[in-house]
Structure 1
Amino acid sequence: MVWKVYMHYSSMLFLMSNAAICFVMFLSKSLSGVSHVVEWELMSMNSLSVVFVLVLDWISLLFLSFVLLISGSVMYYSGSYMSGDKSFNRFMYLVLAFVFSMAMMVLSPNLISILLGWDGLGLVSYALVIFYQNEKSANAGMLTIMSNRVGDVAILMSIGLMSNLGSWNFFFLGEYLEDSKWILLKILMVVAAMTKSAQIPFSAWLPAAMAAPTPVSALVHSSTLVTAGVYLMIRFSAALSGSSAQSGLLIISCLTMFMAGLGANFEYDLKKIIALSTLSQLGVMLSILALGYPDLSFFHLLSHALFKALLFMCSGVVIHSVSGYQDIRFMGCLVNSMPVSVSYMSVANLALCGFPFLAGFYSKDMILEVAFMSWINTVALILYILATGLTVSYTSRLIFYSLSGEHNLSSLSNVSDEDKTMTNSMTLLGLSAIVMGAMLSWLLFPEPYMICMSVVMKNLVLMITLVGAFLGYMLNLMSTSFMLKSLENYKYVVMFGSMWFMPFLSTKKVSDLSLKSGASMEKLMDKGWYEHLGSQGLYFMFSNMFMILNKLQLNSIKVFMKMFVVSVLIMTFVLI
């Protein structure tokens, strides 16, 4: 028991101290404008060098400081949340391995060294999703790792394509890769980012990964696994500019944020609602990156990490308090019993909605204004507007059901804020969610963006937010009539609430197709043509050849020659 206490304390101190060091290094790099690149050559083949590269610039150091800060808070939080688990030590080591893999990914500008962190994230995430070792966790873990393997294959194929350049340092080849002949490489990198960041059609694994413990969800959905794809695209943005891959990414990311916002309004699982909100915000990040603003995408990536980690940690406290329920219909009126946790959760929810002067406001409001001001097609503009309104709608719905609605708790629930470890771990992130948005905007944008819009477009974001909040709260206040309407249109509710049938298509249909095609391929090829032309066919062919050679070596050629001469003489006689 003493080891458990010291382990989460020591992990927190180690990660927090490294976060402080990285932040100080970021300040020095941003002021001096100097970046450092560390290369270690592993092997050399002619003009092709396989090198392990680390880049220390302001982007990698700032993001790494945020990753370590959130990881330290999650480690301290886990000391209480996972204290009763018999595999506590295994859990802590896995989370540390997860953080190390993300650090490898962040500091690598080279596809070879990125693959180490990229694959490490996929492998450790599988181990964490199946942590509770039941059938549901096993299925979710398999869906997670199989979806991510698509991205791994795309990275491997990109490594093969970039070998023609004599280097895998895409960090230094961005201008050269703008050429149209590298469109296949750009498509592969976009596919890799889409799988890691769960864009359509790879979205099903993100809610399924909620089978992992809540501290893992707080880490995965804020600053590690799902943000790896966005970070890769930010690094690769110079090569993407003006390509068709960029246009495709814009449409897919806009559809993803709309689909996730719509699904969250029909979901009742607390963790899945927050997971779908992550999916929606990932769509926002990738869509603004596809419009050509990687700096804004990076800004939203950092601010979102703070309040999303806080939101998951608050949900973990709530789930612990209400006897393990995750259905928001079994909660209600928590504001009277858990004032501190509910305050932090409200701050995180308001930051998610873009409430003025919280962390989410500075990034999200700027992204929407820049998007409305850009050369954007009508479909993407409508999807932006609808996704923004749906975000506020499901947030107000969550507040109504769990924080301020009627008291629906079991009489056995021990709802309180007595766990000081969890409450203290949320304090730092709660303060960051309030003040860090403004600080980041001052650090990242010393020269402000010039926003020039009409009065209608300028006020459009505010109007969408107010309408979304009003609809989200009022529709659930009239829950009986809303339920009757839902039953009348049941098939549409099922479609919108199930992420457009994506979990079904990603599991049952894919497995059925692969298993049936695998069985037919086994009959046709492995036990058919491969057998005939492969091992058995070659065996019989070589056996016959060796028999002929054996006869030749035994000097039986005379017999064959005599028979040949006799047959020729007979044929000649017959013809004459």
Structure 2
Amino acid sequence: MKNYSICLINFFILMFLSLMFFIFSLIFLFYEMVYFVEWDLLIIQTSSLVMVFLFDWMSLMFMSFVLFISSLVIFYSKEYMSEDKYINRFIMLVVMFVFSMMMLIISPNLISLLLGWDGLGLVSYCLVIYFQNVKSYNAGMLTALSNRIGDVLLLLAIAWMLNYGSWNFIFYLEIMKNDKIMLLISILVILAAMTKSAQIPFSSWLPAAMAAPTPVSALVHSSTLVTAGVYLLIRFNILFTDTFMGKFLLLIGGLTMFMAGVAANFEFDLKKIIALSTLSQLGLMMSILAMGFPKLAFFHLLTHALFKALLFMCAGAVIHNMKNSQDIRDMGVLTNFMPFTTSCLNVANLALCGMPFLAGFYSKDLILEVVMQSSMNLFSFFLYFFSTGLTVCYSFRLAYYSLSGMFNESSLNCLSDEGWGMSKSMFCLMIMAIFGGSMLSWLIFTSNYMICLPSELKNLTLVVCLLGGMTGYMISSAGFYFSNKSLSLYNLSFFNSSMWFMPLVSTIGIIFYPLLLGFKSFKSMDQGWSEFFGPQKIYFYMKYYSIINQFVQNNNLKIYLMMFIFWLMFLVIIMFI
């Protein structure tokens, strides 16, 4: 009972804060206000330690969505994690996670931003290893080390910011843009954001982090951790618009989107399919951001948070009912046994595909139309639209396995809709996944906009989605034939399903060899030559001279005088004889 009360208290507090921040964000948006809050932590004579917070409509609205989703996740966890003896610890970790994300959102200062950034990395490690088995430990270590690369790059950016005499980056963006030397900061920040948002070649940790409990996955993949990199680049967007790094980010985002879409079509783990769809959407956000549309990236960030949290919650309910099996091949005709859960799952799926008038449609369709209107090369254009088709393909594949096909569960099963706690959370998010996109489009884009395109291009998005959906459904319904075909092309299937060998590249190329190089340099330099010529040599000479010194000090000066007189007399006597 005590555990339940803690969950409910946190739920109500976070929900109240979410509503309050949302109202404030509307006021700030309507009046175009920006507030800088400076909090003097410590003042010693003329030196002061100041904490700076930035409140504008973007930070307040994002905080509102983070708190809204986290409150529903905590309410959902009350039932999902009911058998956990240490649910209090779990809830506290989730609250710390949310606090770290809020710290990152409201920081216009690189130092305080690093506190939130590192807090996310540390707490995410604790949450990924929560179930404490070998798979969780491996996934946690991969997550922590991949994110640590970004932490180091952010530290280097902090060191380089010393050239300006302040770490409040928000004031220096325009100057940095015109200063060629200071473009190094944009390179470091982009690479740091790529590690946190799991872009190529740092993509492998995102599916591995599925070892965490499902409520954590719902929070991580919707509004925290993976979105931190995108949010940071939205703040720094001036630096890489119309530069080489912007073009590089466009390519990396497109390739990540394409790679995740292909890998999801070869995957059979329910949570990993949804994780790869997150990776695909992050690539979409990064690439549209690199083209110079930060508002669009932020809009898709918010709409994606709503339906992705719902997808993971539904996946958690399905996994619970299927005796902890995550294999979609064990599913089938779930709609007969779990009508509410499968309804929520497929509303979220359709929102992800960009079904007209659901949340994802307003952001994805707008992004693709802006892409068609922009001047870009054919390769990037192909990556955008083919990846959109792949998204619809794996979404309909998932819909086929959950809604139709054969019933593959054992005859003795406990399939039913979950209890009221989980259903209430899913229902709230389903309402937002339906109406959230239109609400946000009216709020964020206050003036009317119209994108005028030829009818062929205007219908291209719809045609690509229809083709992708048909392909996914046909491949799934003819599963036996296509499974045999994929087995005959084993190497190609293995290459795509293993995310283009990205786990191998990340673990061996990015983590193992640098750590090995560091270990060898540590052994040969710190514990080798520098040790021999430095501390050890000093120790040897100090010991040698201290022995001589001690010998002198241990003997009385009178003895030396008496000996000296004795030998002098002895020499005189010898001379006279």
Task: Classify the TM-score, shorter chain.
Answer: over 0.9
- Deviation, structure 1 residue 182: 1.3
Percentage of identical aligned residues: 54
Task: Look up the match of 1:461.
Answer: 461
Q: Assess, with a 3 A threshold, how the Cα gap between structure 1 residues 43 and 248 changes in structure 2: closer, same or farther.
A: farther
Q: Assess, with a 3 A threshold, how the Cα gap between structure 1 residues 522 and 436 changes in structure 2: closer, same or farther.
A: closer
Task: Look up the match of 2:78.
Answer: 79
Task: Look up the match of 1:143.
Answer: 142
Q: What is the distance in 2 between the residues matched to 1:193 and 1:529?
A: 38
Matched-pair contact (CA < 8 Å) for 1:222–1:305: yes
Matched-pair contact (CA < 8 Å) for 1:48–1:167: no
Q: Assess, with a 3 A threshold, how the Cα gap between structure 1 residues 511 and 437 changes in structure 2: closer, same or farther.
A: closer
Q: What is the distance in 2 between the residues matched to 1:43 and 1:459?
A: 60
- Deviation, structure 1 residue 452: 2.7
Q: Assess, with a 3 A threshold, how the Cα gap between structure 1 residues 416 and 166 changes in structure 2: closer, same or farther.
A: same
Task: Look up the match of 1:194.
Answer: 194
- Deviation, structure 1 residue 212: 0.4
Alignment of 1:185-224 (within 5 A): 185-224=185-224
- Deviation, structure 1 residue 535: 2.0
Alignment of 1:492-571 (within 5 A): 492-510=492-510, 512-514=512-514, 516-518=516-518, 520-521=520-521, 524-542=524-542
Q: How many residues align?
A: 555
Output the amino acid matched with 1:35: V
Task: Look up the match of 1:20.
Answer: 19
Unaligned runs of 5+ in 2: 561-577
- Deviation, structure 1 residue 123: 0.8
Q: Assess, with a 3 A threshold, how the Cα gap between structure 1 residues 546 and 445 changes in structure 2: closer, same or farther.
A: same
Task: Look up the match of 2:113.
Answer: 114
Matched-pair contact (CA < 8 Å) for 2:38–2:50: yes
Q: Assess, with a 3 A threshold, how the Cα gap between structure 1 residues 192 and 50 changes in structure 2: closer, same or farther.
A: farther
Matched-pair contact (CA < 8 Å) for 1:333–1:405: yes
Task: Look up the match of 1:238.
Answer: 238
- Deviation, structure 1 residue 513: 2.5
For residues 266-304 of structure 1, give each alpha carbon's deviation from its aligned partner in whole angstroms, at most 9, with x where no partner exists.
010000000000000001011100000000000000000
Q: What is the distance in 1 between the residues matched to 2:47 and 2:452?
A: 49
Q: Assess, with a 3 A threshold, how the Cα gap between structure 1 residues 16 and 519 changes in structure 2: closer, same or farther.
A: closer
Q: Assess, with a 3 A threshold, how the Cα gap between structure 1 residues 304 and 386 changes in structure 2: closer, same or farther.
A: same
Q: Assess, with a 3 A threshold, how the Cα gap between structure 1 residues 45 and 227 changes in structure 2: closer, same or farther.
A: farther
Matched-pair contact (CA < 8 Å) for 1:49–1:167: no
Alignment of 1:150-549 (within 5 A): 150-179=149-178, 180-510=180-510, 512-514=512-514, 516-518=516-518, 520-521=520-521, 524-542=524-542
For residues 445-468 of structure 1, give each alpha carbon's deviation from its aligned partner in whole angstroms, at most 9, with x where no partner exists.
122334132222211111110111
Worse overlay, 196-205 or 506-515: 506-515
Output the amino acid matched with 2:454: S
Give the aligned CA root-mean-square deviation in angstroms: 2.2
Q: What is the distance in 2 between the residues matched to 1:440 and 1:344?
A: 21
Matched-pair contact (CA < 8 Å) for 1:130–1:140: yes
SS in 1 for 2:415: coil
Worse overlay, 537-546 or 324-333: 537-546
SS in 2 for 1:382: helix
Q: Assess, with a 3 A threshold, how the Cα gap between structure 1 residues 164 and 494 changes in structure 2: closer, same or farther.
A: same
Task: Look up the match of 2:3.
Answer: 4
Q: Assess, with a 3 A threshold, how the Cα gap between structure 1 residues 169 and 516 changes in structure 2: closer, same or farther.
A: closer
Output the amino acid matched with 2:145: M
SS in 2 for 1:39: strand
Matched-pair contact (CA < 8 Å) for 2:221–2:278: yes
Matched-pair contact (CA < 8 Å) for 2:7–2:75: yes
Matched-pair contact (CA < 8 Å) for 1:258–1:386: yes
Q: What is the distance in 2 between the residues matched to 1:236 and 1:328?
A: 40
Output the amino acid matched with 2:86: S
Structure 1 residue ranges, 4+ long, deviating more than 6 angstroms after superposition: 44-49, 544-556
For residues 348-387 of structure 1, give each alpha carbon's deviation from its aligned partner in whole angstroms, at most 9, with x where no partner exists.
0000000000000000000011012112122211111111
SS in 2 for 1:181: coil
Q: What is the distance in 1 between the residues matched to 2:511 and 2:202?
A: 15
Output the amino acid matched with 1:468: G
Q: What is the distance in 2 between the residues matched to 1:116 and 1:416?
A: 43
- Deviation, structure 1 residue 48: 8.4
Unaligned runs of 5+ in 1: 557-576
Matched-pair contact (CA < 8 Å) for 1:47–1:166: no
For residues 41-63 of structure 1, give each alpha carbon's deviation from its aligned partner in whole angstroms, at most 9, with x where no partner exists.
34679998653111111001111
Q: What is the distance in 2 between the residues matched to 1:53 and 1:498?
A: 43
| TM-score, scaled to structure 2 | 0.92
